[in-house]
Amino acid sequence: EVQLLESGGGLVQPGGSLRLSCAASELSFSDYAMNWVRQAPGKGLEWVSSISGSGSSTYYADSVKGRFTISRDNSKNTLSLQLNSLRAEDTAVYYCAKGLRLRGSYYYYMDVWGKGTTVTVSS
């Protein structure tokens, strides 16, 4: 069974940086697109970023474009999200989620989720 485990969250001051990681187990990692989704305290889900299986295509929400960078290391089954210039409104639980793949095609439905890692931006 595929499992995703996020790490790297914590308390950071406004303007600071963090690097989140997501380790995938038992998975042909490069066969799947991967995603980051966040949830601010008491709020709904917000898509943050996605990356194709090869890593050649990346996508970002306007709210994080230019500040966050998604990447992956398929040799280590690891997904990363570099968070720079953090703001109070980036405070959230960040989930790593695997994209669905059916009959050889990638889909950006998210069929496996990690438990999340919490990022708190505060002075």
Partner 1 sequence: DIQMTQSPSSVSASIGDRVTITCRASRGISTWLAWYQQKPGKAPNLLIYAASTLQSGVPSRFSGSGSGTDFTLTISSLQPEDLATYYCQQANSFPLTFGGGTKVAIK
31 binds partner 1 (CB under 8 A): no
Q: Which of 19, 76, 87, 115 binds partner 1 (CB under 8 A)?
A: 115
45 binds partner 1 (CB under 8 A): yes
111 CB neighbour count, 10 Å cutoff = 13
The string of DSSP letters for 62-87 reads TTTTTTEEEEEETTTTEEEEEE-S--
110 binds partner 1 (CB under 8 A): yes
80 binds partner 1 (CB under 8 A): no
47 binds partner 1 (CB under 8 A): yes
Q: Are 32 and 99 in contact (CB under 8 A)?
A: yes
In a 3-state reduction of DSSP, which class is residue 107?
strand
- The least distance separating partner 1 from the CB of residue 105, rounded to whole angstroms, comes to 11
117 binds partner 1 (CB under 8 A): no
User: 93: which residues sit within 8 A by CB, 6+ positions away?
Assistant: 38, 39, 116, 117, 118, 119
59 binds partner 1 (CB under 8 A): yes
Binding footprint of partner 1 on the chain (CB under 8 A):
35, 37, 44-47, 50, 59-62, 95, 97, 100, 107-111, 113-116
